[in-house]
Structure formats: C-alpha cells, structure tokens
Structure 1
Amino acid sequence: MSNTRLETLSSCLKNILADKLISINKQFDELTIIVCPADITDVCRMLRDSPELDFDMLIDLCGVDYATYHSKPESGDQQGGRFAVVYHLLSIKHNCRLRIKVFAESDEFPVVDSVIDIWPAVNWFEREAFDLFGIVFVGHPDLRRILTDYGFIGNPFRKDFPLSGNVEMRYDDEQKRVIYQPVSIEPRIITPHVIREEHYGESN
C-alpha cells in the first residue's frame, strides 16, 4: 500500500475511533492499531460498519505470548501485558488491510470479548487461540479445544509449556482403551564429549 493511502487510512482511523485508539503504528506497509480489551467489540463494529473503512472480512486471528519480555516499546506496544490477541482485517471495497492488537488485562487468566457476532468466520480462530494459548473469549457459543484432544492438559503455545508436555497417551491392553498418564520422559541435557590429542592444535 502506498504511503498516501496509509496516511489516508491512518487519518480515518484516528477520526472514527478517536479516544478508543491507544496507538497506531506502521510496519511492513501495513497499519497496526492497539485498543483496550473493553473496547474491542465496539472498535470492530465501527471498523466493519463505517463506510470510510468497511473492513468486511476477518482474515485471521491469533494469540501471542510475550512471556517475560512482554512488549517492546520500539514496536509501539507500550501497553504491556503477557497475552495479546491479533486480528487481521481486509476491506475488499478499499483494497486495504489492518491489524488490530489487544492485550488481555490479566496474565493469569487472559480474557477478551468474542467478535463472533461481527465476523462469524472468527469461530474456529478463537477456539484455536483458546486451545493453544488459554485465552478465553467471552460470548463465544462453543469455546472448546479444536486442535488438541479433550484430555489434554495445558496450552502448548505458551512459552512456559514444557517441551515434553504434561501427560502422555497410550493404549492399555488390559483395559482395552486409551489411557492418560504422567509423562515418563525425563528431561536431560546432552553435553557432547570431545576427545582431543594432548597437543592438538599446537604448532611445532
């Protein structure tokens, strides 16, 4: 997108969203805006229904775990917080894209309002972010795991999730069914053992 179109879009966003806009940042020829979680549904509805914007399509939604470093000031994410939800929007009419970022208020129990009433296509995306990051979307009609199975423990895309997982699954011949049990893999650090000649590398 040309700089002129980005500036026009930026101006429209500032005029329409007004005080609901925390920040606006340009990266990779696209704009990213940050809004409060309390305003996310109002902002999304304004972005969809405003003729000047007309973001009628949600392309993707994903979760982000900023873990210990949280957000980097140089990227425009001054709000902080560990968990964020990122929305990728497309306006077919104006042929432009927009990225929305919202940080959950709680690091222990991240919660964000669902936007399924605005873009029904977000259904499985919100379920995916719930499954992988543990972000709860209030108002979602069917919020349950979508990629991991129902007996899975934890959220595998969180930075503090153990690489070996928390439980393992196997078929038990005696019980004739699949069972879950604590992980039997013991984490270990492999240190290579290097053997060299006594005077290796020394010049004569």
Structure 2
Amino acid sequence: MNHKLDVLQPALEAALAGKIKSLVRDHGELTLTVAAADYAAAALTLRDHPTLKFEQLLDLCGLDYSAYKDGVFEGPRYCVVSHLLSVTHNWRLRLKVFAPDDSLPMVASVTEVWNSANWFEREAFDLYGIVFDGHVDLRRILTDYGFIGHPFRKDFPVSGHVEMRYDPERKRVIYQPVTIEPREIIPRVIREDNYGGLH
C-alpha cells in the first residue's frame, strides 16, 4: 500500500468536494478528472489548499480520444492532462479535463496559477487545436506561422497538406502541394527456421 496516496486521496475529496468527476487510483498513481467549468477553480485549490500544496506544474499536454480503444470511447474528444508536484508534501497528481465542445475545444488557461503552463498550452494549441481561454499569448510554437491544421489530431493526414522546400531560382522557401505518393509498406517477414540462431 502507498501511504502517501492513502493521505492524498481523502485530502483531495475533502478540498474539492463537488468538483470531482472521477478520482482513479491505479498503478500507484492518482488521476483526478474535473469538468471544464471547474478546471480553473480546481487548479487554484490544488495549488493553494494547505493540505494539497501542488506548487509545480511539471507537464501539460493535449490528447485526442477519437480513436481511443478502437473508436469505442464515448465522451468528448479532446482532453488536457497535467502532471502536478507538491514539493511540500512530496506527492504527485495527474489532473485531467475534457473540452466540452469537439468543434471548438476550449478550456481555461492555468498560466495564472502555474506560469510553467505557458509554453505547454501553446504546444497543445498548436498540435491539437485546443484553445486555452485567458492565455495571453496563444500562438503556434512548433509549426510554421502559415501552417494549416493541427498535426497531432487523429484525422490529420500523415503526409500533411503542403510541403516546404527551398527554391534556388527564387532564392526563398516556397510551399507546394504534397508530392509524396501514398503507399502501403508491408514489412518483409523472414520465415527461415534457424534465422538468427546458432546452427
């Protein structure tokens, strides 16, 4: 048994009463899911409540659940997952929130709570199209300024929509439609009885 989780779990249930959608304990970790409407308030409570004191946000990322469990997942498509650390109490927590609208996935920004969320939220916006309401500088961080779409979405084509190359005649970078021929590559299967073994 993990004594820290035995203390943390009831502390979360007491401090966030009414805001918890689910609290799952699995593989020695706790995962807390809250509604999008409660996300900002829950983040403040997690940071400021004396029995919790999650001072640090270590990571934040987006997820696309559209093909989760071979497409049998029922629920919102886009999720934001954060990993929190309490230096004071030496415990960790995974915090999840689902964006309620798949056509415009939006959740509150937590940059005012943990400033380390800034670039993580920009990355989730860039790669998944999740909008963080209240973020002061929400713009692309990894893809090009003129990039169209969000490349980590499950429905984004593997080859993309356009490609970029340097044109020596124009002496600049140009964009053009993708020239890659889509093909299916089937790996070679070796069925020799003693392949790789000692003879």
Band the TM-score falls in, shorter-chain normalisation: 0.7 to 0.9
* Maintained 8 Å contact 2:67/2:154: no
Q: Which amino acid aligns with 2:132?
A: F
Instruction: Name the CA distance, whole Å, in 1 between partners of 2:65 and 2:30.
Output: 20
| d(CA) in 2 for partners of 1:60, 1:25 | 19
The reply to whether residue 138 of structure 1 matches residue 133 of structure 2 is: yes
**Does 2:55 match 1:90?**
no
Unaligned runs of 5+ in 2: 190-199
Higher helix share: 1
- The secondary structure found in structure 2 opposite 1:87 is strand
Counterpart in the other structure of 2:55: 56
Q: 1:136-173: per-residue Cα shift (whole Å, max 9, x none)?
A: 11111111111111122211111111111111001223
Alpha-carbon offset, residue 106 of structure 1: 1.3
CA offset digits 1:105-153 (Å, max 9, x no partner): 1112111110000001110000111111111111111111111111222
Residues 1:160 and 2:159 aligned together = no
* Counterpart secondary structure, 2:18: helix
Separation of aligned partners in 2, 1:5 and 1:191: 48
Unaligned runs of 5+ in 1: 195-204
Assess if the C-alpha contact under 8 Å between 1:79 and 1:103 holds in 2: no
2-structure distance, mates of 1:121, 1:84 = 19
SS at match of 1:7: helix
CA–CA distance in structure 2, aligned partners of residues 157 and 92 of structure 1: 32
**Distance in 2 between the 1:128 and 1:147 partners?**
7
Per the alignment, residue 43 of structure 1 pairs with 42
For residues 61 and 136 of structure 2, the distance between their equivalents in structure 1, rounded to whole angstroms, comes to: 18
1:18-70 per-residue CA deviation (whole Å, 9 max, x = no partner) reads 01111100122110010001111100000100000000000000111111347
2:196 matched residue in structure 1: none
Distance 1:167 1:148 in 2: 12
State the 1:3 CA deviation: 2.4
Aligned residue pairs total: 189
The aligned counterpart of 1:5 is 4
Aligned with 1:31: secondary structure?
A: strand
2 CA distance for matches of 1:181 and 1:13?
A: 52
Partner of 1:26: 25
Shift of residue 188 of structure 1? 1.9
What residue identity is the alignment partner of 2:62? G
